[in-house]
Structure 1
Amino acid sequence: MREAGIVVALVVASTLVATYANRWRVPAPSVLVVFGLLVALIPGVPAVRTTPELISLVVLPPLLYASAQDISARELRDIWRPVAALALGLVLATAFAIGGIALWVTSLAAPMAFVLGAVLASTDPVAVTALGRRLPLPPRIQALVQTESLFNDATSLVLFQVAVGVAVGTDGVNLLAASGRFVVLAGGGMGVGAALALLVIALRARTADPMLQTVIALVTPYAAYVLAQGAGVSGVTAVVVAGVVVGSAGHRVTDARIRLQVHAVYGVIVFLLESVVFALIGLQLPTFVRDLPPGTSWWPLEAAALAGALIVVRVAWMRPTVALAAPTRGYPAWPLARVMAWAGTRGVMPLAAALSIPLTADGGAPLTDRPLVLVLTTTVVAITLTVQGLTLGRVVRSSGLAVDPELLAAQEAEVRTSLDEAALEFLDNLGDGIPPQVVDRLRRRYNARLGGHEDGAWPVGDFARLQRAVIDVQRAELRRLYADGRINDAAQRRFTHELDRTENGIVR
């Protein structure tokens, strides 16, 4: 009963903190980590410990799935080269660099130093997505940062498994076996995710019940993760691929009412899970510190050195990558490298990996370095979420890459004008069957919108039926603008959501 009370109190407190952080326009993950740390330092607060299963099975799937649905297949086709260079090359370079530095500056033995390098090698999609929602980055750069974090799991997971096998004495280093394991993990995860996504799309296309549609949407990420893990492949990759495929086809298999309901339910779940999981990172750090053996009192400086090294390695790798990759060649190389390096925060996934390190070696001897790996991992995560998270907006604005709000508003106004003009053209070409006064009233409404004046009346009957037909025309115009490359995926999703809300508000 006491544990349940602690969980409820944490959920309520974290939700309040995240709500006010969003209202104050500061990154909620950064504030939540600090909040969790401050709470843990209060005398009498019980020690909090989470299991890797809680994070990887309960928390990660819906958060990854929601992030992946923001990535479209078209965006992936445009940015796959830099994503591959980062998800493969940068993860490998980071793992070996951090492992070598950890061996130099910490008391970790060589095998556990490289376990730490593998744990910290990949950026965290949950943290990157949560931090990047309010950044005024160009859409393609935003997509590159987010997609990299979604697809580098398979590489870091293979490295982690190899490093742990060496540390516990069950395996040697076999590069050929590691390469084969990567192909199985990544390729198998992609196959499971894609197959499940096609099944989900078929089910949702044949289901008109909003409640059942919502249940299917909630179950999908958990099903993808469990099926993939059961098959011995990457559950994270399966969830990401399922999210991308379902997200790209979702608008074709659901109506406005269902999309709005699923969006609202998922928004609440993502908000609650993010609020709790980032607070847990700060909340657990003092507990891990108390478990440290004697002789490890330099861990704060060691963690700071590792966090700095992560940024240096990312900058060194980003500079040639963004200069050579086609989707990013048009941007200034150094400012872009700086922004992408600063956006490479660590978060929930490294913590889950560190928690899954076995307690004992193959012969039964305890892994004495495990507590230090946990402390260093959690501290580096906390540093990146607070230091980088709180200053990322400033780095973006000073880079010259930030999108001008006035330009963005002008582009949105241009899209709205195109949609309203398409509506007027449809009304002008209407044949018989609709009373002229109804058509005239709707025509006056869209003429008023083009002139900057909004008519708020929503009559019923023929007008409502005609309004739905006009919204269908506007959706077709939106698809045309997207196909012609005049709007990006984010804008298409935003305007689709507006049209869904308009349609849902029509009196039935």
Structure 2
Amino acid sequence: MQVVLFLVTVATVVATFADRISVPAPSLLVVAGILVGLLPLSEQIHVTPEIVSLVVLPPLLYAAGEELSWRELKLLWRPVSLLAVGLVLVSAAAVGFVTTLLTPVPLAMGFMLGAVLASTDPVAVTALGRRLALPPRLQTLVQAESLFNDATSLILFKVALGAALAGGVASWSGVTVGFVTLAGGGALVGAVVAVGVSFIRKRTEDPVLESVIALVTPYVAFVLAESLHGSGVTSVVVVAVVQGVKAHQLTDSRIRLQLTAVYGTVIFLLESVVFSLIGLQLPSQIRQLTDGERSWIPAVFAIALTLVVVRVAWMFPLSALRNWRDGNRPSWQVPAVITWAGARGVVPLAAALSIPLAMPHRTLLMVLATGVIVVSLIVQGFTLAPLVRLSGLAIAPGDSQAEYARAKQELTRRAIDYVEELGDVEAVSPVVLDHVRRSLNTQMELEQEQDDLADSYGQLRRELLAVQGEELARMQAAGEIGEATRRRLQRHLDRQDLRFTDDP
């Protein structure tokens, strides 16, 4: 327990420091994990497959899936399919051959390592992508690839594992049946769970129950799919996408605010700990290598380079072909960013940890897998933001703010139109309508005046709320009101403060 608290504390401090110096937290956490792994304390920390795959992975996948844009995803299903299936197959084969050439690992086990590392990681990609102002379609493409290529990678891993244990080669029919069972079964279970959760949430108004349901849903989807021999990863992703699309229909604003806070806290803690654990694993694994396996460093960099080269060879021709078909000139920016955004992370680590303990060269395979993940998170993590800036693809803060302001004004206009419609049919008291109309018109004027006036208005309102908060504390301290009344009024002031602390 002390070890867990220590890791949480270290991870929280490092993540906060990373935010202060504007560097990606996953990359800095991996570095911190490696440094902690060099301490004697690390020998007491043993990460089991269940901790990563069952405890940590489902909620992180769920959070990543909820952020996907369904509209953009429908437009991008072809390139997503090519990346999630074709690129995974080619990457696994390339890594398998390179591993066999540079290490004493046999070919079947080399392909097993290739399957582990072939898919990009949705947790790492999402964590790194939060700091990047990428265009919506490009952001969706990168995230969708990382979410949907896990089923392909998992199929290849299980096939390669079976071949390595049996000393033979799996048949194509077996591969096909396995893919349908894992991917199709996982998607079906995810759809069923999504329907059931939606049914329950529509009939729930208790914020505490809503929080429990949101936290339990990814675990239910993952465990149920795995128990039915489907892909737990695919099941969680399907549930997340469906719930993300229907979120505004299932809950009210009060519950959505609470769920955002609760889930944000959980995801922060899990991401902080899991990226630290990735770095933490490497030193202890290196200590367990035999003398004949000590030449792992060249192999790690060679495999990491192979993964990047394969992505380049896959992405640039596809991008050029798409531009040619659309009548556009070829460009390097989009394929370069997609290539470099293909980081490895939690999902490959979970797959590597599931390699049987009795498997020959298991420690070497773990070192190679963890080493490539570390190199990917550090090298690509620290350089992805500069590459995005160099490419010119990042959305300028002014453009994002302008889009937000336009949409906000349009919402206010629609509200004003609706008030006028109510006035025409005399459905509401004229006094109430007049009050609401003046409030909306004031809001519209503030929005049209843009930043200076709106900021001054919001600042004044926040100052007034602070004064009210001090008076509320005085009244409670003087015994003029009870604790229940103070809490109720404090919640009211907090909701008011949220209105004027606007973060687009």
Under TM normalisation by the shorter chain, which class is it?
Answer: 0.7 to 0.9
Q: State which drifts further: 316-325 or 96-105.
A: 316-325
Deviation of 1:429 after TM superposition, in Å, equals 4.6
1:208-240: CA deviation from partner (whole Å, max 9, x where unpaired): 111111111111000000000000000000000
Amino acid at match of 2:448: L
CA RMSD of aligned residues (A): 2.2
Q: Distance in 2 between matches of 1:104 and 1:135?
A: 37
Structure 1 residues 181 and 295: CA distance shift in structure 2, 3 A: same
Deviation at 1:262, TM superposition (A): 0.7
Q: 1:175 to 1:209 in 2, by over 3 A?
A: same
Counterpart check, 1:183 vs 2:180 = yes
- The 1:325–1:269 alpha-carbon spacing in structure 2 relative to 1, beyond 3 Å, is farther
Where in structure 2 are the equivalents of 1:58-457 lying within 5 Å? 58-169=55-166, 172-325=169-322, 332-360=330-358, 367-431=359-423, 432=426, 433-435=429-431, 436-437=434-435, 439-452=437-450, 453-454=453-454, 455-456=457-458
Distance 1:441 1:262, change over 3 A: closer
Letter in 1 for 2:337: V
Distance in 2 (CA, whole Å) between partners of 1:326 and 1:64 is: 32
CA–CA distance in structure 2, aligned partners of residues 328 and 256 of structure 1: 44
> Cα deviation per residue 1:128-150 (whole Å; 9 max; x = unaligned)?
10001111211100000000000
Cα shift readout 1:411-434 (whole Å, capped 9, x = no counterpart): 222222222333333444542504
Of stretches 238-247 and 321-330 in structure 1, the one that deviates more from structure 2 is 321-330
Deviations 1:374-425 (A, max 9, x none): 0000000000000100000011111222222222222222222222333333
Residue 175 of structure 1: CA displacement? 1.4
**TM-fit CA distance, 1:303:** 0.2
After superposition, give the CA deviation of every residue in 1:89-111 in whole Å (9 maximum; x if it has no partner): 00000000110111112221112
Counterpart-to-counterpart distance in 2, 1:345 and 1:163: 22
AA at the equivalent of 2:385? G
1:115 to partner: Cα distance? 1.0
Cα deviation, residue 438, structure 1: 5.2
Q: Please identify, of 327-336 and 284-293, the stretch whose mean Cα deviation from structure 2 is larger.
A: 327-336
- With 407-416 and 250-259 compared, the bigger mean Cα shift is at 407-416
Q: Secondary structure at the match of 2:293?
A: coil
Task: Determine the C-alpha separation between the residues in 2 that align with 1:246 and 1:316.
Answer: 36
Instruction: Give the drift of 1:325.
Output: 4.9
Contact 1:123 1:149 in 2 (8 A): yes
Query: Which SS does the other structure have where 1:46 is aligned?
Result: helix
Query: Deviation string for 1:246-269 (max 9, x for gaps)?
Result: 110110111000111111100000
User: Measured at CA, do residues 332 and 272 of structure 1 come closer, stay the same or move farther in structure 2, by a change above 3 Å?
Assistant: farther
Instruction: Kindly provide the amino acid, as one letter, of the partner of residue 349 in structure 1.
Output: V
Contact 1:82 1:322 in 2 (8 A): no
In structure 2, C-alpha distance between the alignment counterparts of 1:407 and 1:384, rounded to whole Å: 31
Residues 253 and 328 of structure 1, relative CA distance in 2, 3 Å threshold? farther
Contact 1:256 1:501 survives alignment (8 Å): no
Match of 1:485 in 2: none
Q: Say if 1:225 and 1:235, in contact at 8 Å, map to a contact too.
A: yes
Change (3 A) 1:192 1:370: same
The one-letter code matched in structure 1 to 2:49 is: P
Distance (Å, rounded) in 2 between the aligned partners of 1:97 and 1:42: 35
Deviations 1:452-499 (A, max 9, x none): 3334569xxxxxxxxxxxxxxxxxxxxxxxxxxxxxxxxxxxxxxxxx
For 2:92 and 2:105, locate their aligned partners in 1 and report how far apart those are by CA, in whole Å: 15
SS at match of 1:403: coil
Q: Secondary structure at the match of 1:357?
A: coil
Distance 1:241 1:501, change over 3 A: farther
CA distance in 2, matches of 1:501, 1:341: 43
Residue type at the aligned position of 2:361: D
Change in Cα spacing, 1:254 to 1:437, as seen in structure 2 (3 Å) is closer
**TM-score normalised by length of structure 2:** 0.86
Post-superposition shift, 1:449?
2.8
Which of 170-179 and 313-322 deviates more?
170-179
Report if aligned partners of 1:102, 1:306 keep a CA contact under 8 Å in 2: yes
Q: Which has the higher helix share?
A: 2
Structure 2 distance, partners of 1:239, 1:287, is 31
CA deviation map 1:27-85 (0-9, x unaligned) = 00000000010111135543422111110000000000011011133222111000100
% identical aligned pairs: 51
The runs of 5 or more residues in structure 1 that have no matched partner are 361-366, 459-499
Scaled by the length of structure 1, the TM-score of the pair is 0.85
Do 1:40 and 1:47's aligned partners in 2 also have CA atoms closer than 8 Å? Answer: no
For residues 237 and 148 of structure 1, the distance between their equivalents in structure 2, rounded to whole angstroms, comes to 12
Shift of 1:442: 4.1
Size of the aligned set, in residue pairs, is 456
SS at structure 1 position matched to 2:292: coil
The answer for unaligned runs of 5 or more in structure 2 is 463-493
Q: Do the aligned residues in 1 keep the contact of 2:42 with 2:280 (CA within 8 Å)? A: no
Secondary structure (helix, strand or coil) at the match of 2:261 reads: helix
Confirm or deny: 8 A CA contact 2:65 2:147 kept in the other structure: yes
